[in-house]
Structures are given as C-alpha cells and as structure tokens.
Amino acid sequence: MSLLITAEQRMLQDGLEQLLTRHAPPDSGAELWHQLADELGVVGLCIPEEFGGAGGTFTDLAVVMEAMGRTLYPGPYLSSAVLAVHALLLSEDVAAQGDHLPNLARGRLLGTVIAEDLCEIDGRILATSNSGRVTLSGTASSVLDGLSADLLFVVAEDGEQQSLFSVDPSTAGTTRIPLTSLDLRRDAARVTFAEAPAQRIGPPGAAAEIVPRLRQIASLAIAAEQVGGASRCLDDACEYAKVRYQFGRPIGSFQAVKHACADMYQHVRSGHVAVRHAARCLDAGSPESPSAIAMAKVYCAEAYIACAAANLQIHGGMGFTWEENCHLHYRRARASAMWAGAPDRHRQWLADQLLAR
Amino acid sequence: MSLLITAEQRMLQDGLEQLLTRHAPPDSGAELWHQLADELGVVGLCIPEEFGGAGGTFTDLAVVMEAMGRTLYPGPYLSSAVLAVHALLLSEDVAAQGDHLPNLARGRLLGTVIAEDLCEIDGRILATSNSGRVTLSGTASSVLDGLSADLLFVVAEDGEQQSLFSVDPSTAGTTRIPLTSLDLRRDAARVTFAEAPAQRIGPPGAAAEIVPRLRQIASLAIAAEQVGGASRCLDDACEYAKVRYQFGRPIGSFQAVKHACADMYQHVRSGHVAVRHAARCLDAGSPESPSAIAMAKVYCAEAYIACAAANLQIHGGMGFTWEENCHLHYRRARASAMWAGAPDRHRQWLADQLLAR
Amino acid sequence: MPGLSERIERFFEELPPLLSGVEGMVARGKAYRKALCEAGLAGLDVPAGYGGGGYGPPAKALFAKLSRGRIPAEDDIFTIGLGMALPTLLEFAAEHLRRRYVEPALRGEEIWCQMYSEPGAGSDLAGLQTRALRTAGGWVLNGQKIWTSRAEIAQFAICLARTDVDAPKHKGITMFVVPMDQPGVTVRPIRQITGACEFNEVFLDDAVVPEDHVVGEVNGGWPVAVALMQNERSAIGSGGGRRPVPFEKLRDLVHDRGRAADPRVRGDLADCYIGQRLAELLSELEAESVDAGTPLGAETSLGKLWRSTNGRAAAALVGELAFATGTAWQTGDDREDWAYAVLDACALSLGGGTDEVQKNGIAEKVLGLPRDPYRTDKVPFRDLTVGTQRD
Amino acid sequence: MPGLSERIERFFEELPPLLSGVEGMVARGKAYRKALCEAGLAGLDVPAGYGGGGYGPPAKALFAKLSRGRIPAEDDIFTIGLGMALPTLLEFAAEHLRRRYVEPALRGEEIWCQMYSEPGAGSDLAGLQTRALRTAGGWVLNGQKIWTSRAEIAQFAICLARTDVDAPKHKGITMFVVPMDQPGVTVRPIRQITGACEFNEVFLDDAVVPEDHVVGEVNGGWPVAVALMQNERSAIGSGGGRRPVPFEKLRDLVHDRGRAADPRVRGDLADCYIGQRLAELLSELEAESVDAGTPLGAETSLGKLWRSTNGRAAAALVGELAFATGTAWQTGDDREDWAYAVLDACALSLGGGTDEVQKNGIAEKVLGLPRDPYRTDKVPFRDLTVGTQRD
C-alpha cells in the first residue's frame, strides 16, 4: 500500500481543516460535531458500513487526526469516535455493537474509555457480580471527555481476569468532576464508581486482548494528531519568519531561523511518513505493526514537542503570550506525548521487537 | 580555593604548550621527555619534594594535562607521571616509593598501571605465592604505553583479595606486543604474564582502596586533557572560519558557523571550570570530590567529542583528510571518552551520589 | 565602614515589628524601603548627596551578604527602578534630574519601570518606532511599549523613543524620564502562557514629557541603553530573574514518583545537575574574574545560555515524571505547579536576549568571528523595514 | 520490451564463467561491461544510435530490479562516468562529442571522472578558480581540483573551469571534456581520516583540451553543473554512496557485547532504527512521488540529512559498545572495522553538500524563506574573495 496520500484523502483533509478552522473555539460545540457526523461522515469513519459508519481504514483515520491536530480541535473525536468505537469493535460483542455503534456513528452518542495507559487508574477498578447484576467500584482520573460522555467503556478487574464493561454515567453510583488539563483544548474528568451498575461487553477476560490492541490504535491516532500539530507549528513559524523584520530583514533570512525551520520540516515529513506507514501496517495486519506503531508514537511525540518549542522560540516574546496559539501547541505536545505510553516506554517496546531473535 | 588559574599556572601552561608545539611528532621522543623532566619539572609534578618531585597539586596537574591535550602530546605522561606515580603514592609503601619515585620524577624510569578500567583485563590476573616468591599470570590489553614502560604496576587477584604488584617486564615471564590504537597519538600494548616474577607493593588487599581512588585521579587527568583538546578544536575552527571564504565572505560570518563555534566555546569554558572545580575538590579532600569528578569526566568527554566533530564539520572536506589535525582530535576524543569509565558509567555514579539520602 | 555590619544586623533584627500589620505588596514594599532608608542603609553605594550611604561597592557586597534571605519578597517591586533606572540616572542624567528623582526612588516613595522593547523591536531594539516630538510644551510621545514589568504601579519610567527618523537607526534615539500618571499613558497587562501576568503593554498616546527630562543627549540615547542592557544581561546571567526548576526539586520529584532506579531518568537527572552546577561554577568564576579586575565581557552570555539549556532539560524531565500517569488534575494537586514550571521555562531562551542573539555575541565579541556582511548601520531609519509586516 | 527479462536473466546466469580468471579491479570491471555490451544490455535507456538499448526508463528499472545483488562490485569504477558524465554528455554536448565518447564509455573501454570541486571551492562551487584560456592549439587549463574519485584510472574527465573573470561568478564558467592521459594532468591520492584513499587531487598545469571539447556554451557551464549536482544529491539521498552502519549490524553488536538488557543502549538502538527506517520510508515516498509525476525538489535533501543524523547516532553507539573495554587492538580484531566505521561516518555530513547547505536549500526552496540579503551575484569574479586566505 502506498505511502502517498490519495486524492480523496487530500480532499477530506482539506475540507475538514477548513471546516474546523471556520469553527474555531469557543464556537466549536454541538453544531460542529453534528456537521462532522452528518456532512463529513468522519465521526463514523472507523465504523463498518453495516452499523451506519463509513468503513474507513486506519490510513483514513490518520488523515482525519492530522487535520484535527493542525486545528487544535477540542471536541470528543479521540474519545468517542476512536477509543469507544474501537473498544466495541475489538470486543466482538455483536449485540453491544448493534446497540451502540449506529448511535456513535451518527454522533448521537458520546463514548469514552477508561483503561490503563488511556487514563489514570487510582488503584484498581473492581467489578462485582451479585445475582447476575454487575457493579463497578473504583476511580479513574484524566479521563478524556469523561464529563460529556454518555457511555463509559471501562476495563475492570473481573475476578482473576480483566473484562470490558459499559457504564451509563447518568445512573446512581457514578460521580464525575471536571479537571484542569495541561492541554487546554482537551477536556478531562475524574470519574468515581461506587457500586455503579455495569454491563459486561464481550466475554469475561476479553480485556486482555482488547487493551494492548486499543493502545496501539490510540497511539496511531495520537501520533497522527501530533504530526498535524507539528505541521501547523512549522507553517506558523515560517509565516511569521517571513513577515517579522528585525535588523532590516525578515528574520527568516537568518540562517539560525532557516535551520530551525528546516529541522521542523524534517520532523514533520518524517513524522508524516511514520504515521502513514504505521497506519498501512495496521490496515494490512502486518507483523511489522507493533514496531511501526511504537516508532510512530516515539518519533511524532518528540517531533511535536520539538516543533512546538521551535515555533515558540521563532515567535520570540509574542510566542510567550496567551494570545498566540504557540502555547496551545506546546501544551498539547507535552500532554499528548505522555498519553498511551510515554515516548520512553514505546522506545523500550520497540527495542523488545528489534532485539528479539 | 579559587577557580581562576594563577599567574604561575598560566606561565607553566604557556611554556609547556610552546615546548610541546615546537616538538611536534614525529620529533617528540626521549629528548622532549627529558626536557619535560629536567627543565620544566612537570614529569615529577605530582611527586612530593622529598622524593625529588615538585609537590604539585591536582590543579597544577589539570593545568599540565590541558596543555598536553591542546598539543595532542603523545608521550608517556599519563601512564608514568600520573598513573604509576599515584599508584605508588596511594600504596603508602614507603620502601617502594623510595625505590621508584625519584627515578620516575627524573623521567629515568617509565611506569604504567594495569588495573580494571585503566586497561582491558582478559579474564583475571592471578598472583601465586610460592615459598616467598610471587608470580603473576594473566593478560591485559590496551595497556597505556605498555611497550615502553620499564616497570608495570599491576593489580592482581591475591587469594581472596586484590593487591598491587610491580613487575619488571624485561624479565622472563612477561611478553608484550604492540597494538593499534584508535587514538593515533597514544601507544598501547598487550601484556601477557606467565608466572612472571612480581613484587608486592603495600599490604595484601591494598588494591581495594587504591583502584577507585586511582580511577578518580585518572578521570580528572583525562578530563583536563579533553578540555585542552576541545579548546584547541575551538581555536582551530575559529581560525579556519576567519580565513576560509565561500560565497564572497568568510564562513565565520555565517550564523550556522557562528553558533557552532559559540556552542564549542560553551563546552570549553564549562569543561574548564568543571575540571578546575574537581581538582580543587580533590586537593581539599572535599566530600564533593566523587560527584565533582564524575561530572567533569562526563561533561568533558562529551564536550571533546562534540568539539572535535564540530571542528571537523567546520573544516569541511579538508577536515576529512589525514593532513589536518581534525581527525587526531576526533580519534582521541572518542578513545579517551571510554577510558577510566565511559560517560554513562560516570553519569550513573553521579546519580548514585545525587540520589543518596 | 566601621559599625556597618552591626547596623545591618540590628536593622534586620528590628525589621519584623516594623512590617507587622502592613498589608499588600506595594504597601509592604514601601514600608520596608522607608525603614531601610531611616536606618541609613538604602543605596549604600549611592553618593550621600543623593540620599545614599556614600560607601563603595564593598559596602554593597557586605549588605548583600548579611541581608541574604532576610529581605521581604515585596522589595522586588523596586528591582527595576533601583537596579536599572537609578544607575542610569546617576551615570547619564543631568544634575536636576538626579536631585529630583534619586532620593525618592531610594526611599521607595516612587516606583520606576523601564520602557524599551516594542512589539516591533525585540532582538533589534534599535529598530524602535515610538516617536518623540519636541513641542512648545515639552516632548510628546506616541507609540507602544511591551514587556514593561511594574508599569501598573510605577510613577516614572525611563523610556527610549525615536527623535530623528532621517538618521541611521542607532543615531536617532533619545532616553526620556516619562511620568506614568497622565492621560497619555495606558497600561495593559499581558497574559503569559502560564496564565500569569508579569508584564505589561504600555500605550503612549500624546504622552507628555517635560522639556528637560532627557537623559543624556538628544539622539544620544543608544549608548545609554547599551550600558543598561549589559547590566541586565549580567543580572540575568548571574542570578537575577527567572530560573530553571532547581535541581533539588527535580531530585525530590524523581524520588516522589518512584523513578530513582530508572537508569535513563537517573542519567537525565545527572545531566540536569551538571548543567545547573556548571552554571553556578561559571558564575563563581565570573565573580572571581571581576574581583581580579577583568572587565565583564560577552562571556556573561554563557550563564544565560546555560539557563536556557537547564530550563529545557528540567522541563523535559518534569514533563515526563510529573505527568507520567495523567495530564489533568484537581486544584491543589502538585501537577498544577509542575505545569506552571514546564510552561514558564519557555521564557528562559527568550527574555533578556534570545539564545540566538547570545550566540552571535559570543561568536563576534569573544571569538572574533566576522560580523554579518549585511549591515544597515548607515541606512536612514525611515528607509528601513521594521517590525511585523502583515497586510 | 519483449524478451528483455529473459535476456537479463540469461546474461547473469552466464556471467560467472565470463569473469572467471580475470584478476584486478579494472580488468574485472571492464570484462563485465564488455560482456554486458555484447549481450545488448548496456545503457538500456541510452539511444541506440549511441550504442545504447534505446529503451525507456522502465527498461532501466527492470534491469535494476533483476540485477540486484548480481552485479560485480568492480562495476563501481564506472559509476561516475555512466551516472554523471554520460547523462551530461547526452543532454548538453555537441553531436561529435556524443558520437566519440558515449559508446566507449558504455562498453567500459574508457573510464571517466568529474572535476568540479577545488580546494577553494567547496560549498560555493561557483567560486572555482581553475582557469581555462583559449589558445591557437585549443584550451589550456591551470588549477587544482579535489575529491576526484577514479581520477587515477580515468581516461577522461568532465571538468568545470573559469573562462571569464570579469563576469559574475556564475556567468564565467565553462564545462570541458579533459583527456587525463597527458603531461599537464597530475593525480595525487588524498589520504582520508580512515587511512583509506577514495579520492584524489588533480593538478592541472597547462593541461590541453581540444578546441571543440566544450560541453554546452562557453561561459554557460553553470546550468550544466547544476543539473548534474541535482542528480548527485538525489543519488546520495536515495541510496548511492556512503552509508551509516546498517541497523542490523548495530543490533548484532548490541547482542555481541552483551548490552541487550541495558535500557539506555536499548533506547539508543531504537533511535538508530527509527532514523534508518524513516530514511528508507522517505525514500520510498519520494520514489512514489516521482512515479506519480511530481518532480524531485529540494526535499531529497531530507534523505541526506537523515544520513548525517543516522551516521552520527550509529557512530556514537558503536563508539560506546565496540570500545567499551579498550580502544586498542590487534590486527584482525573486529574493533578495526568498527573504528573505520566510526571515522568514516564523519563524511556523511560533508560529502555531496554539507548539512548546512542542505538546510539552506530546504528553508529557501521548500519553505520559501527569504534568501540571505548579502548577495554576490552581480560582483565580477575578479573582485570576489574566494578560497582559503592564509598569509
């Protein structure tokens, strides 16, 4: 499969970026979400057509996430359209899929996932079965869009095993409080379950297979978002370097600025191809997938941090103000690097693959 | 104690550098060595006056090693005037000191040391006592100036303990072969002992105290040499950047070259102060010594590599030829970084100090 | 300086009751200054005729030593006035200005700020566009200044403005003393990426300056500014201003997050230590050089560069450790402070001259590398393109 | 191209006996070329009239695919002639030169080199100083060339020389075909930091070139050179020339030295993998872009930059692992090869355009950042300072 983006993907990305740019925050709420769902069909991108989705590939998903990264999109795409959807798909629980996927595809239902590496589990979340009724108890923090989600997909300790459950957070037993996020464009909540009624999804013990696979998909999605963010930093830095004059010349004519921009370009192009490659490996079920994904996550996380910092530096003092977008990228770069496995963990996982004989 | 170099030290360093520059290789043999011993008195620098030395401090030693590093001095100073001398001093064996230090001070005797981290021990070196006669058996490689040394100070397994011995390599039982060195200005040999007659120096088990302390002194000396080498790389790069014209201007007027030189300057000044500080800690017997020395060895090793590489890059294609000195510095930087503990080992030792509570 | 040590000691012993009950940053700062002045300890190295102690630099050093850790934090509001504006007035201003302004500044009765940078003039300060026109009623200033700390509470500013647009950029700049309490001056805080507001923008709309409030010569403001900036750079390089997260806090974080056995974290921590310790040692060496009579050169830039490096390294380590389990928090969680530290570190390579400017300085002034052949020294200011040129 | 695959297959099957017993690099290289030519497989994309196969690029790609790993190493002696000189001749030279030189080059009967760089003209090739004077007996060349691979065995060179010192530097350069077997040409090998001699210096002392051996226009050599260098950069970026130590060898070294459990070594190894894999993927993407009709731009510089980075990273890892116990060795020890690799990696950021030049290219040509305002495009060459100005 090709590393080149297709004409259709290019069109989708451009259209999406234009739409998201028009609806910049704080004007990016429910209306935009429904446009994404209904007009562009990207909310159901990963959902098979039989459930009302677009049946898109992982390379399609990467294309969408890049556009969202470029525009610092703050909505619940990652939590609902990626995590919740793929948790259901991986569960192979056809009944639950039939219940929820159509609503997720149409954007009428917002989901999110509570699992190791995708949020912070305080201690453990325990499932208790009592005469056929299952309840969950425990606490999770830094839950992506945990406050706005209509349905929580929760990995919990189920006897000796780990299973996947769904919890309706509006019922008694679940409390949610909003948190402050390092990434100002990403909502997070603390969710506490106290004997909260839950539905098991898939067979007991299914989470053992689901969690690592979901982390791979999450890593790919966030890596793509990071490349998008990095590419926007590059564009912003170049634009500023062309119009900002000091010492009688545009600062972009100074070699130090040129080389900083060239380094950013290298990061962006390399990150893009890393994501594209990881996505095609996932699409093809290639045995290279684990290393391709670890590589993408390590490289893109660090590339985004480097590009966000360079953009800030090229903007000079203005970059240090609240008014410029520089800090939003820097915050997101720092925050997203830690999500779904910090770079050094992915580096060690990659080394596991590389050194195996 | 001051971080500023004294007027006397400056004079010593300048005089030494001039002498070493006049006697550039291949013209740097026995005559130069005797000038260093007799005229400048630096061969006996670390030896107390009672044994015919100059009774110098570790800061004096750092001053000398910087000059030797600047001029890529190839002689047996490190092996004989630093390692052998300090092995004897640390042994507290007054008889052996009286036998050898005066000759070492006058440069009439060349010594070197065979011990873990200062050369490569193939397996182990075993001492065997038989009716009062001690012999050594075993092999060591990468032994500094092992071929030219008149006396070898060897750390060997002595029953359950490690002791220090001296071996006269001209007697039967010792064979030596020259090796190729990564550092073209530093001789090394492979030394094999087969029941070679040896003299014990200090009490049995003395090496346990001597070896770590000797490694500290070796680390300080090599760090100082590295700073000297780095400072010469800086000077050479700046000189070349001023006379080399491309695009109608000296290449030193390009910001990329300027910033590379500024980075080298930061390395050199910081390395210098690190060495100076480590030396004063050693002189004062400060509890900060272990961390100051580890810091100096980590920083200077990496600074020299960075400066040698930058010098090579600034010299362009010419830097890649055998004719320029660039590669001699690069080789020495790479080689000396690994000696007396690679940077990462010193980094971990430093972390041990810093994280202790 | 007989008895000076004892007077300083006594002053700090008697200080707490003097400040007790005084509330608010400005009030506490002023109360401290007033007490200091009454104890005869303000401006020890300022000539006695201007309200100072009339001692030399050793007295100042003695005070610095004995007062360490005992000066109330609120005295910071005078740092710019006393550290930057006052030496400039003493060195360059006419006698009537020194008589009028030095003593009230020392007594803490008047707070000062400095108005140098502009939105269009950062690294290239000499490209500043604020205009000063001489009129019958004095000078009239128009323009915009930025990064002005303390402007919100200051009564006076030293301020650079352009007085000749036909001259090359360095030759048409004048330094003024600007009264801040007037309709022509508007101060607006700048919100930084941390959310905090340390600095201000200042808008000058027909701000009026008395005819005789020029510091130095008309069109001769540039050398005055250069002298001042050298002080600023040295202050930042050797201790003043923003700092990276101190090593001790990083070490505690490593322990707290249970990472003290992780070899890579250990290595990164060691590197943070090395950078911070080397910066300290370089600053010790610099102080020794100054004591030994060597003038400060562009080498002070090294301290500044180390701060950038150390800030970046500390931010990377903090980012990795503090947010290892999650990047969102409830108010009061220590991650709130760590987030501030990570963001704040971004300023270290910008404020007080970017890293790029520092490196140019080292290359040209210390290493003697040739200047950029493209020069605008002789171009009349009106023909230069300056600032941000958006359509 | 009916039957081409089969012919290529058959050729490589029948090749071994043809080469058996032929000794020496040049002899074996020439024997291979001769056989290739006789099989009708030399220069598949070169027009038949000049001794080539007359096929298009697809035939060349097919040959590349089927011949992978089967071409004797000695064919390298023709790389410069066939990859650089020959396309230049075909595109820019007059008919009589193409008739005379293309076919013997394809047949391997004549070896070529290229003489571009000079000791005084590296990154700034247009600053070259070798002079060519037109005389009654043809052109007479004087000067010095450097980094000339294969000059020691070449019969001909394409060579840039200055033909007008009063014109700006780009406008007074001409490309020549220079016969190497003459008294005016002296070749001296350059010893590199590895000890090996890959390149030569070539001294031109009244070297004679026939009147009609100009390629392109007199004083029109620069565009010819630019076209050639683009090919060279692409070749280096996408696979040709010097390489970093391949990842597989690094991995084996990690195992061999027992460091596979050391987290920092593992991390460094992973970074080496990432750099090398990304370089491969970028080159795959580039090939796809070309196939899709997008012309090659300065983006090929990325491959070059990755090689520098990868070379440095590999050298650092090798330096640390291979020499962990000692930095001296007996002949035959694997450290001998590792030392060569560590030293050789230094060339990756220099040859084929320094990293700095590549980054300038990306910034200006891809990102559209403004060029340096200091230009010498219009200065007559005789007024420019060029080369190394030592007293």
Instruction: Output phi, psi for B152, to 5 deg.
Output: -105, 130
Residue A2 lies in a domain: no
List Cα–Cα distances, A110 to A146, A213, A221, D294, in angstroms.
10, 21, 18, 42
CATH number of the domain within which B311 lies: 1.20.140.10
Taking 60 as the threshold, does the pLDDT of residue D233 lie above it?
no
pLDDT computed for residue A28 by the predictor: 66
SS3 (DSSP) at C183: coil
| Mean of pLDDT values over A33-41 | 93
**Of A37-41, B324-328, C182-186, D387-391, which has the strongest mean pLDDT?**
C182-186
User: Residue-wise over A78-114: b if at least 16 C-beta within 10 A, else e?
Assistant: bbbbbbbbbbbbbbebeebbebbbbbbbbbebbbbbb
Residue B1 lies in a domain: no
User: Residue-wise over C259-286: b if at least 16 C-beta within 10 A, else e?
Assistant: bbebbbbbbbbbbbbbbbbbbbbbbbbb
- Of B43, B166, B63, B153, the residue nearest B106 (C-alpha): B43
Is A253–D277 a contact, with Cβ atoms under 8 angstroms apart? no
pLDDT computed for residue A357 by the predictor: 74
Is D255–A357 a contact, with Cβ atoms under 8 angstroms apart? yes
pLDDT computed for residue C241 by the predictor: 67
Instruction: Tell whether B152 and B85 lie within a shared domain.
Output: no
Domain hosting B218: range is 208-355
pLDDT computed for residue C231 by the predictor: 64
Residues in a beta bridge with D177: D158
CA distance D23 to chain C (A): 53
pLDDT computed for residue C236 by the predictor: 45
For C96-109, what is each residue's pLDDT tens digit?
999 999 999 999 99
Quote the mean pLDDT of chain B.
96
Is A142–C389 a contact, with Cβ atoms under 8 angstroms apart? no
CA distance C360 to chain D (A): 16
pLDDT computed for residue B309 by the predictor: 97
Instruction: Tell whether A249 and A310 lie within a shared domain.
Output: yes
Q: Which of B170, B204, B238 is the endpoint of a domain?
A: B204
In angstroms, the CA A204 to CA A209 distance is 11
For C256-282, what is each residue's pLDDT tens digit?
999 999 999 999 999 999 999 999 999
Is D191–B322 a contact, with Cβ atoms under 8 angstroms apart? yes
Is C326–A337 a contact, with Cβ atoms under 8 angstroms apart? no
Instruction: Tell whether B89 and B195 lie within a shared domain.
Output: no
SS3 (DSSP) at D372: coil
Quote the mean pLDDT of chain A.
96
The pair of structure tokens assigned to B175 is 């064979």
| Mean of pLDDT values over D11-20 | 90
Instruction: Tell whether A252 and A338 lie within a shared domain.
Output: yes
Cβ under 8 Å to D: B residues 172-231: 177, 179-183, 188-190
DSSP letters along B6-35, please?
PHHHHHHHHHHHHHHHHT-TTS-SHHHHHI
What residues of chain C lie within 8 A of the CB of A254, using their CB?
356
pLDDT computed for residue D110 by the predictor: 96
User: Residue-wise over D87-115: b if at least 16 C-beta within 10 A, else e?
Assistant: ebbbebbeeebbebbbbebbbbebbbbbb
What residues of chain D lie within 8 A of the CB of A348, using their CB?
263, 266-267, 270
User: Which H or E run contains A247?
Assistant: none
Nearest neighbour of D123 by CB, restricted to B182, B188, B246: B246
What residues of chain D lie within 8 A of the CB of C267, using their CB?
264
Residue B19 lies in a domain: yes
Is A256–B254 a contact, with Cβ atoms under 8 angstroms apart? no
Q: Which of A1, A280, A355 to mutate to test the interface with D (most CBs of D within 10 A)?
A: A355
Where would I find the beta strands (DSSP E) of B168-294?
A: 174-178, 180-181, 188-201, 244-246, 249-250
pLDDT computed for residue C347 by the predictor: 86
Per-residue confidence at D241, pLDDT binned at 50, 70, 90? low
> Quick check: B271 and B265 in contact, CB under 8 A?
no
User: What whole-number percentage of chain C has pLDDT above 90?
Assistant: 70
C289: closest chain B residue by CA = B4
Residue B351 lies in a domain: yes
**Catalytic: which of C110, C232, C286, C364?**
C232
Give ∠ CA D358-D312-A310 in degrees, rounded to 5: 55
Instruction: Tell whether B193 and B218 lie within a shared domain.
Output: no
Q: Which chains touch B (3 or more CB pairs under 8 A)?
A: A, C, D
A352: closest chain D residue by CA = D266
**Catalytic: which of D74, D103, D110, D232?**
D232
Q: Which of B204, B236, B256 is the endpoint of a domain?
A: B204
Q: Is D263 on the interface with C (CB under 8 A)?
A: yes
Is B256–A254 a contact, with Cβ atoms under 8 angstroms apart? no
Is D124–B246 a contact, with Cβ atoms under 8 angstroms apart? yes
Q: What's the burial of B93, exposed, middle or buried (CB within 10 Å: 0-12/13-18/19+)?
A: buried
Instruction: Tell whether A126 and A93 lie within a shared domain.
Output: no
Per-residue confidence at D181, pLDDT binned at 50, 70, 90? very high
Residue B82 lies in a domain: yes
Taking 50 as the threshold, does the pLDDT of residue B210 lie above it?
yes
For A88-109, what is each residue's pLDDT tens digit?
999 999 999 999 999 999 999 9
| Mean of pLDDT values over D45-66 | 87
For D133-149, what is each residue's pLDDT tens digit?
999 999 999 999 999 99
| Mean of pLDDT values over A150-166 | 97
Residue A1 lies in a domain: no
Nearest neighbour of B253 by CB, restricted to C263, C288, C371: C371
Q: Which of B204, B225, B249 is the endpoint of a domain?
A: B204
For D146-159, what is each residue's pLDDT tens digit?
999 999 999 999 99
For the ranges A352-356, B169-173, C347-351, the lowest mean pLDDT is seen at: C347-351
Instruction: Tell whether B139 and B101 lie within a shared domain.
Output: no
- Cβ partners under 8 Å of residue D269, min gap 6: A351, A354, A355, D250, D251, D254, D317
For the ranges B164-178, B220-234, D318-332, D344-358, the lowest mean pLDDT is seen at: D344-358
Where would I find the beta strands (DSSP E) of chain C?
A: 112-115, 131-135, 138-146, 156-162, 173-179, 185-190, 199-209, 214-215, 328-329, 387-388
pLDDT computed for residue A299 by the predictor: 98
Does residue D232 carry a catalytic annotation? yes
Is D122–B316 a contact, with Cβ atoms under 8 angstroms apart? yes
CATH number of the domain within which A70 lies: 1.10.540.10
Instruction: Tell whether A84 and A130 lie within a shared domain.
Output: no
For the ranges A160-164, B18-22, C230-234, C299-303, the lowest mean pLDDT is seen at: C230-234
Residue A198 lies in a domain: yes
Quote the mean pLDDT of chain C.
91
User: What whole-number percentage of chain D has pLDDT above 90?
Assistant: 70
Instruction: Tell whether A135 and A89 lie within a shared domain.
Output: no
Instruction: Tell whether B71 and B180 lie within a shared domain.
Output: no
Where would I find the beta strands (DSSP E) of chain A?
A: 111-114, 120-130, 133-144, 151-158, 161-167, 174-178, 180-181, 188-201, 244-246, 249-250
Q: Which of C262, C276, C369 to mutate to test the interface with B (most CBs of B within 10 A)?
A: C369
CATH number of the domain within which B182 lies: 2.40.110.10
What residues of chain A lie within 8 A of the CB of D360, using their CB?
255, 258-259, 262
Number of other CB atoms surrounding residue B268 within 10 Å: 23
- Of D164, D189, D185, D188, the residue nearest D174 (C-alpha): D164
Could you give the number of structural domains in chain A?
3
Angle between helices D4-19 and D25-38 (to 10 degrees): 150
For B73-115, what is each residue's pLDDT tens digit?
999 999 999 999 999 999 999 999 999 999 999 999 999 999 9
Instruction: Tell whether A288 and A342 lie within a shared domain.
Output: yes
Per-residue confidence at C12, pLDDT binned at 50, 70, 90? very high
pLDDT computed for residue B302 by the predictor: 98
Taking 80 as the threshold, does the pLDDT of residue C43 lie above it?
yes
User: Which H or E run contains D186?
Assistant: strand D185-190
pLDDT computed for residue A301 by the predictor: 98
pTM, 2 dp:
0.95
Taking 60 as the threshold, does the pLDDT of residue B187 lie above it?
yes
Residue B2 lies in a domain: no
Instruction: Tell whether B118 and B199 lie within a shared domain.
Output: yes
| Pairing mode of beta strands A161-167, A188-201 | antiparallel
